[in-house]
Structure 1
Amino acid sequence: MEEDSMKGRDRMYQQCLRVSAAAILVASGNATLAQDQGTADETSSGSVQLAEIVVTAQKRAENLQDVPISITAVSGDDLASRAIVNPQDLHGLLPGVAFQPNNDLFVTVRGIGTFNLQPGVDSAVAYTLDGNYIAHPAELPTVLFDLERVEALRGPQGTLFGRNANAGAINFVTARPTHDFEAKGSIGFGNYDLFQTEAVLNVPVGETFAIRGAFASRKHDAYLDDGHNDEEQIAARIRALYEPNENVSLVATIDYNRRDDANIGVSECPPNADEAACDNVRWDPFDGNDEANPDDYSYVESWGAYAQLDVRLGDSMNLTYIPTYREADISYLTTPTRPFIETGTTNRMLTQELRLSSLPGSAFDWVVGAYYSRERFDQLITYYWDTNPNIPKGPNNVINFFNVDEYEAKSAAAFAQVTVPVTDTFRVTGGLRYTDESKFSAGSAHAYTGTVDDPVLVSVPTGTKISDDRITWRLGVELDVGVDSMLYANVSTGFKSGGVSQADPNIELPTTYGPETIKAYQAGSKNRFLDGRLQLNGEAFYYDYKGFQSLLASFQPSGLLYFLTINSQTARFYGAEIESSFLATPRDRFDVSVALLDTEFTRFVVGPNDFSGNEAPMSPNYTVNLGYERYFDFANGGTLKARIETQLVDDYFVTPNNFPGSRQSAYSMSAANLSYTAPSDKWTVTAWIRNIENEGVIYNANPPGTRPVTIAYPFPPRTYGVTLVARMW
C-alpha cells in the first residue's frame, strides 16, 4: 500500500509539473496573482513592462526581484480591487501560504504553523505591522485598510526577524503620511447583509509635517445556519510624519481595533456516522451545529502605539529605532465541543529595536542591530459542562478552571547580516543572531471532584520558569546570470521558543518544553524576460524540523486535568513553487503559480498515540493558481478592469492526527471582480464575488469525543458584493 501511495504521488507530481510547464509556456506564464498587482510601468523607450515592487524583507527597501528570498507581495490597490478587507480572504492569493478564519489570524506556510493554542505557546509565523513584531495573532488588526502592501516571506527568517519565524513572516505595511492632500471614502454592500466602510484623510502641515488618519468597519450576518461565523468590527489608525530635513524622518502611529461577534462555528457530520463516513466532508459544512449556544461570543479589543525614527549618519549608514507598546483584551465563549470553554485574557507587550544599516550604493550591504521585548498577560480559562449530569460540578456548571495570575516572557537579541560582492556578478551573504530569553508563569488550577451530590473543589498552585539562549544563522550566495536574472541558494536556521505549561510543577510529566528548531535548504531563481513583460520566479526547498510542540491532556489522581505542551515530533518538508506574470499586451495580464509540497512527521508520539508517518495539516501536495486580467479604456478617460482567478487544491488533512473525518478533498475555488474607474480617478465602483463554486472547504476538525459526532470548521461560503470608492486630491 505504501509503495502504491508513493507511485501515485510521483505520478501526481509529474502531472502537476507538466500542467504548470504547459501553463507557463502556452499562456506565456505568469506569476502569482500577487507578484505584479496589475500595474504596468512605462520605460524611457516608451515600452510597457511589469511594475516593480519594493519590499522590506531584509530590513531595507529593495526591489522584490533583487531579494534572494521566496517572497510575494500584494499591494493595497490590489486588495482594494478584490474588496479584501478581512485577512482570511488572503487565503489562496499567496503560494504556499494558508490563512484560516479562526478567532485569531492563523497562518501556515509550506505546511508549518501553530497547532497548539495553549497559553504562552508562540506562533511559528512571525507577524509584523510596519516593522513591529506582534507576538500573538489576536493582537493584529483584523481589518485590512489603508495598506501599502502585504508581504509573505517563505522559509525561516531567524537572522533578521529572530525567534518564532520558522515558517516565515507576514508583514503588514500601512500607508505612510505624505506631503500631498488626500481624502477618500468607500462603502460596500454584499450578501449576508455585508456592510463595510473605509475613510482616509491625509493632510500636510507645512513642509515638514503631515498627518494621516484612517477608519474602517465591517459587519455581516452569520455564514452558518446556527448563527455563528458572523463578523462585526471597527478599526482606526492615526499616523504622523515629521521630516525636519532630508536626513531625519520620524513616523509615529496609534491604532485601535475592536471585534465583537458570535465566535467561530462548526458543522456536524451526519449523526451516528463514524469517522470514515465523514471523510471528504460529504455533509453540508454550512448547516452549523444542532447544539450551538446562542450565547457564544468572541470579543477582542486592542490598541498600540509605535514609532520609527530614521537618521542618516553621514554618507555611509542609517540609524533606525522602533519602539512599540501594544495591549489587548481578549475573551470568548465557545461551545462546539463539550465541555464549553470560556476564556478571558489581558495581554501587554513592549518591544524595542535599534539598527544600523548601510546606505544604498555602499560597497557592502550590511545591517547590525539589537532587539528587546517583554510580554505580560493574565488569563482565566473556565470549563462548563451543562449536559452531563454524571460528573461533579460547581456553581453555573463549572467543572474546572485555570488562573494565570502572572505570565512574563522576556527576549533580548543581537544580530548582524552582510552581503559581500565577490565579483560584479557573484555575492555571498552571511548572517548571525544571538537570542537570550526567559519565561515565567504563576497561577492556580481548580477542579470539582467528589460526587455529583457532594462536589469538592480541589486547588493547586501552577507555574514555573524556563530560560534559554540560541544562535541562528544564514549563509547564502547569489549569482547574476543576466541583466534581469539571478540564481540564489541559502542555508538557514530558526527556532520557535519553548515555554511553560500551566500545571503543577510537581507532577511526574514535564511542565516546561523546549523550542522547535528548523534547518532549511533553499535554492531559487528570479527572472524578467521580454523587456520586463514576463516575470518568472521559482524556489525549491527542504526542511529538517525538530521538537514540534504537541498538546497532551493528562488527568491527575487529584482529579485535575492539565493540558501540557510537549516536544514530540520530528518532520521533514520539501517542495517547490513557481510564480510567473506575463503582460501579454499593455491591457492583458496572465497569472500562474504552482506550489508543490510533501510533508511527513518522521516521529510523532503523543502519550500512547503514535502518529509517525502522518502528513502535516494544511499541506496539499499541489496548489495551482490561475488568473487573467483585462483593462479597457473608454473615450471619456474612464477605465474598466476585469479579473477572474481560480485555485486548484489537492486533498489534505486539517489536523496532525490525520483522522479520516479531517481530510479535505481536492477542490477548486474561484473569484472574479469588475472595477470601473471614472476619469481622473475621482471614483471607482467594484463588483466582486468569491468562492463562486460555493465550495464547502474546512480548515479544522474534531473527531468524536465527548460528543458522538465529527465536527468541522468551514471557510466562508460564496460571498459577493459591490464597493464604491470616492477620492479627493
Structure 2
Amino acid sequence: MRYLALSTMASCAAMMIGTPGYGQTAAQGADAPAQGSDASPDGEVSTTGLADIVVTAQKRSQSAQKTPAAVTALSSEILVSRGLVDLAAINNVVPGARFNQEGNSMQLFLRGVGSNLDIANIEPVVNFNVNGVFIPREGTSAPLFDLESIEILPGPQGTLYGRGALGGAVNANFKRPTHELSTDAILEVGNYNLVHGTVTQNIPISDVLAVRLGGDYIYHEGYMKSGAYSKDDFAGRIGLLYEPNPDLKIYLWGQGVTKNGSPANAVNKGLDPVTGQYNESAFLNKDPWNDLRTPAQIAQAQSVPGLGGLFFQPRKDDQTYTFLSTGGQIDLRLGDGLTLSYIPSYLYLKSSERHWNGVLESQTDAKYRQVTQELRLSSDGPNLQWLAGIYAFQQRNSGFIILAPDVANLFVTNVLYNRIQGIAGFGQATYAIASGLRLTVGGRYSITGKKANGISPGDPNQTPYFFDRTFRHFDVKAGFEYDIAPRVMGYFTYQTGYQAGTYNEFPATSTQDNLVKPADLDSFTGGIKSRFLDNRLQVNVEGFYYKYTNLVLQSFDLSKVYNEIFNAKRVEIYGGQLDVTLRPTSNDMMSVSVSYAHARNKDFVTPDGSNFNGLQPPYAADWTIVGNLSHDFSLRNGYIRAAADARYESRWWADYLHNRGTEQKPSVIVNGSITYYSEGGRWDLGIWAKNLTNEAKIAAAAANGFPGPASGFLIEPRTFGGRLGLHF
C-alpha cells in the first residue's frame, strides 16, 4: 500500500510536469469444547485448573509455560468457536500484533516490526509458516481451516527460522491424520448472505496408514456499496500419515486454494464532505463502507488538470487466485533420543487482482514458484536438548503494479524476474548446568543470493535494470532459564534477526548504486512465567528491548517519478507484555493481555535529507489490550457457553511521515458468541457476532486519496450468524 500510494503521487506529479492473548496460550483452555480435568505443567491433574498447552515454537514439543518466550497459541477450538477463518481475523485476539489485509496480501507486524511494501523485491520481515514451510506474502491470505493450532512468536527468530523472521514468526499447523474413523462438519450462515462450510474426514486405511481429507468453502456478498469486499473461496486438502514401526513416521500433505470473490476497495479518508475541510476521522459517506461517489464528486475528481481521465466511479472488480502447495515431514528415530527429520515442500502461486483507491483503479499481479528443504537432527535428553540442521530454498517470482489499467497502464513497479536462493546451517542447544538452571545457545549462518531484472517504473525509455548480489550473515542466540519455584520460571534471552538486502528498480551506475542494505534487529528479552492458586491463576510477564537498524522503507518525493527504497538507520523499540488468565471455577474463564511497545525513530533521515526522528514507524501502536470472558451454564445433556472478547488499540499511523488521513484513532473491537455443546461433544449449535459496535476501523491506509488526503482499506463491518458443528 505504501509503495502504491507514494508511486501514485509521484506518477501524478510527473504527469503534471509534462508527462497499518490471549495471554501467552492461556486462553486455549477457555474454548475447549468439552469440560473435564486438565493437566498442570507438573503433570498433576486438577478439575478446575488451567490446561497445559504444548507448543513447537522452538521446533520441538514443550510446555508453553516452559518456553522462554511470549508465545500466543490458539487452538483449533478457539479458531472455530470464534470464527477466525484467516489471519486478518486472528489480528483481533493477538497482543501486540497488526495483520493488515490488502487484496491478496497480508502485512504482518509484531511489536511494531513489519513491512508495508507489497512488491516483488521485498520479502516480509515476519515469518509465516505452514507445517514448517515458509509461505510468501500472497499466500498468507489463504483460508485457515482444520488446524491443530496457530502459534505467534514475537521478536527476532534468526537462529531457528532465519528467512523472514526478523520481527517474529507465525506458525500454522494442519491437523494430522489419526488411526480413528471420524467426521467433522461445520456449517455457518449469516448476514451478507454468508454461507461457510467445512468438512473433514479421517480414514484409517490400516494399522499403519491413515488419510485425512478436508474441504472449506466460504461465500458472502460484498461489504461495500459497489459489491466489492466479497468472498467466493474454496480450499481443499489431503494428508497422509504412514507409521510402519515406532521409529519411522511419514507425514505428507497437499493443499489447493482458489478465490473468486471481489477484493476490497479503499475509501477516501480525512476530508469532511460537508465543510470540505480536513477531518482525520471523516469519510466521504455516512456509511464508511460506501465506496461509491456522487455525480458531483466524480465530476470534481475528473476536473483535475491532466489527471481527470484516470478517475472513474469505483466498482466491484474481479480477481484470479490459484495457490497450490505440498510438503511433508519424515521423522526417523535413531535411538538414544536422536531423531532425524526431513521437511521438503513445493509451492506455486498466481494472483491477479484489481481494486480501487478511491476513484483510481489499480492492478496487482504476482507469481511464485518455490522449493524448500530442511534436514535436522535433534536430541531430547534429560539434561541436554539440542538440534542442528541445514536449510535450503529457491524462490522464483515476478510481479507488477499498474495504475489506471486499460486507460494509462502506469507501472509503479515492474519486476520481471526475481530469484532468491539460499542455504543455511543452524543449531541450538539447551543444557541443565545446575538444578533448575538451564543455558541456551544457538547460531545460524546463512548465504542468500538475489538475482533480478525488470523495467524501471516511470521511465519513458523503459530502461531495463539488473541486480545480482550475495549476502552472508551469522545470527546468534544466548539465554538462560531458571525455575524459581515448581510453577514459576524466569528467563533472559539475547537473539538477533536479519533481512537480506534487496534493490531499487533502476540501473546501478558509478554514482548511484541500486542496492538496499540488509536490515538487522538485536533483541534483549526477559520474563517470568508463573501459575498460582492450585493452577487456577496464570501470570506471565515479559520485557523487551529491540535495536532495529537499516529498516527498509520507501521515500516520499513528489519531484521524482520513482520513489526509491532506502534504509532508515535506527529504530528503537522497548516495552513489555503482561498476560493474566484466571479460571476461578470449572465453568468460568477470564483473561487479559496488555502489550506496550514504544517504537520510535532514533536515526531516521531520508535520501532527500528529511529528518523523522521521534516519530512512530508504520502500524506501531503503543498499546494493545486484549480481553476474554466466558461462562458455562451446565445442563442435564450438555452445557451452554457464553463468551465475549474485546481488543483495544491506541493510535497508529500507516506511514512513517504521519501523513494526514493515515492516522487510526484509538479503537475498540468487541465480539461475542453463545454456543450449546451436547453431552459427549457430538454436536454444537451457536450464534456469534463480530465488530458489535460496527466500528469503521482502517486496516491499512496511504496518502493517495482523491480529493484527499488519504484512502484506506477498512476492517469488516458488523457481522453475525449461526453455526452448527457435527462430530462423529
The Cα of 1:606 is off from its aligned counterpart by: 2.5
The Cα of 1:279 is off from its aligned counterpart by: 1.9
Residue 322 (structure 2) pairs with residue 321 (structure 1): no
The Cα of 1:567 is off from its aligned counterpart by: 1.3
CA contact (8 A) 1:30 1:534 kept: no
Tell me, what secondary structure is at the counterpart of 1:58? Answer: coil
The Cα of 1:285 is off from its aligned counterpart by: 2.9
Matches within 5 A, 1:179-258: 179-258=179-258
- CA deviations 1:119-157 (Å, max 9, x no partner) are 2201110111011122x2212362111011110001110
Counterpart residue number, 1:511:
514
Q: How far, CA to CA, are the matches of 1:425 and 1:514 in structure 2?
A: 42
The Cα of 1:372 is off from its aligned counterpart by: 0.2
Counterpart residue number, 1:12:
none
Q: 1:301 aligns with which of 305, 312, 322?
A: 322
The percent identity for this pair of structures is: 26
Q: Give the residue type in structure 2 aligned to 1:311.
A: L
Q: How far, CA to CA, are the matches of 2:27 and 2:651 in structure 1?
A: 24
Residue 608 (structure 2) pairs with residue 582 (structure 1): no
Counterpart residue number, 2:722:
722
Aligned length: 678
Choose 201-210 or 501-510, whichever is displaced more. 501-510
CA contact (8 A) 2:24 2:71 kept: no
Counterpart residue number, 2:427:
416
CA distance change for structure 1 residues 704 and 42 in 2, over 3 Å: closer, same or farther? closer
The Cα of 1:439 is off from its aligned counterpart by: 0.3
Q: How far, CA to CA, are the matches of 1:574 and 1:292 in structure 2?
A: 45
Residue 565 (structure 2) pairs with residue 565 (structure 1): yes
Q: Give the residue type in structure 1 aligned to 2:37.
A: D
Counterpart residue number, 1:645:
645
Counterpart residue number, 2:526:
523
Q: Give the residue type in structure 1 aligned to 2:395.
A: E
CA distance change for structure 1 residues 31 and 476 in 2, over 3 Å: closer, same or farther? closer
Matches within 5 A, 1:340-419: 340-359=361-380, 361-384=381-404, 396-400=407-411, 403-419=414-430
Choose 547-556 or 711-720, whichever is displaced more. 547-556
Q: How far, CA to CA, are the matches of 1:176 and 1:356 in structure 2?
A: 22
The Cα of 1:37 is off from its aligned counterpart by: 4.0
The Cα of 1:224 is off from its aligned counterpart by: 2.0
CA contact (8 A) 2:120 2:398 kept: no
Counterpart residue number, 2:94:
94
- CA deviations 1:508-561 (Å, max 9, x no partner) are 5431211111001100011111221111111010100010111136799xxx94
Q: How far, CA to CA, are the matches of 2:692 and 2:281 in structure 1?
A: 20
CA contact (8 A) 1:141 1:257 kept: no
Q: Give the residue type in structure 2 aligned to 1:405.
A: L
Choose 304-313 or 501-510, whichever is displaced more. 501-510
Counterpart residue number, 1:479:
482
Q: 2:441 aligns with which of 426, 430, 440?
A: 430
Choose 459-468 or 573-582, whichever is displaced more. 459-468
CA contact (8 A) 1:463 1:500 kept: no
Tell me, what secondary structure is at the counterpart of 2:65? Answer: helix
Q: How far, CA to CA, are the matches of 2:128 and 2:23 in structure 1?
A: 28
Residue 534 (structure 2) pairs with residue 534 (structure 1): no
Q: Give the residue type in structure 1 aligned to 2:497.
A: G
Residue 37 (structure 2) pairs with residue 41 (structure 1): yes
CA distance change for structure 1 residues 667 and 344 in 2, over 3 Å: closer, same or farther? closer
CA contact (8 A) 2:417 2:454 kept: yes
Q: Give the residue type in structure 1 aligned to 2:480.
A: V
CA contact (8 A) 1:503 1:511 kept: yes
Tell me, what secondary structure is at the counterpart of 1:91? Answer: helix
Counterpart residue number, 1:13:
none
Tell me, what secondary structure is at the counterpart of 2:113? Answer: coil
- CA deviations 1:225-246 (Å, max 9, x no partner) are 2322222211111000000000
Tell me, what secondary structure is at the counterpart of 2:60? Answer: coil
Counterpart residue number, 1:124:
125
Matches within 5 A, 1:149-168: 149-168=149-168
CA distance change for structure 1 residues 563 and 181 in 2, over 3 Å: closer, same or farther? farther
What are the ranges of 5 or more consecutive residues in structure 2 without an aligned counterpart? 1-20, 294-311
Residue 462 (structure 2) pairs with residue 466 (structure 1): no
Q: How far, CA to CA, are the matches of 2:150 and 2:571 in structure 1?
A: 29
CA distance change for structure 1 residues 581 and 281 in 2, over 3 Å: closer, same or farther? farther
CA distance change for structure 1 residues 597 and 88 in 2, over 3 Å: closer, same or farther? same
CA distance change for structure 1 residues 614 and 34 in 2, over 3 Å: closer, same or farther? same
Q: How far, CA to CA, are the matches of 1:658 and 1:33 in structure 2?
A: 36
Q: How far, CA to CA, are the matches of 1:510 and 1:473 in structure 2?
A: 30
- CA deviations 1:295-344 (Å, max 9, x no partner) are 53333211011010000011231000000000000112233167643232
CA contact (8 A) 2:96 2:623 kept: no
Q: How far, CA to CA, are the matches of 1:673 and 1:491 in structure 2?
A: 41
- CA deviations 1:656-704 (Å, max 9, x no partner) are 2112322211122111111112232221112111111111111322225
The Cα of 1:396 is off from its aligned counterpart by: 4.2
Counterpart residue number, 1:623:
624
CA distance change for structure 1 residues 310 and 621 in 2, over 3 Å: closer, same or farther? same
Q: Give the residue type in structure 1 aligned to 2:467.
A: T
- CA deviations 1:65-123 (Å, max 9, x no partner) are 11101101000111111122122111221111122232212221001111222222011
Tell me, what secondary structure is at the counterpart of 2:138? Answer: helix
Q: How far, CA to CA, are the matches of 1:706 and 1:687 in structure 2?
A: 40
Q: Give the residue type in structure 1 aligned to 2:319.
A: S
Choose 563-572 or 487-496, whichever is displaced more. 563-572
Counterpart residue number, 1:288:
291
Choose 349-358 or 374-383, whichever is displaced more. 374-383
The Cα of 1:46 is off from its aligned counterpart by: 5.5
Q: How far, CA to CA, are the matches of 1:604 and 1:353 in structure 2?
A: 37
Question: TM-score w.r.t. structure 2 length?
Answer: 0.88
CA distance change for structure 1 residues 301 and 507 in 2, over 3 Å: closer, same or farther? farther
Q: Give the residue type in structure 2 aligned to 1:537.
A: N
Q: How far, CA to CA, are the matches of 2:260 and 2:569 in structure 1?
A: 36
Counterpart residue number, 2:82:
82
Q: How far, CA to CA, are the matches of 2:358 and 2:383 in structure 1?
A: 60
Q: How far, CA to CA, are the matches of 1:152 and 1:46 in structure 2?
A: 27
The Cα of 1:32 is off from its aligned counterpart by: 6.8
Question: TM-score w.r.t. structure 1 length?
Answer: 0.88
Counterpart residue number, 1:7:
none
Q: How far, CA to CA, are the matches of 1:34 and 1:305 in structure 2?
A: 31
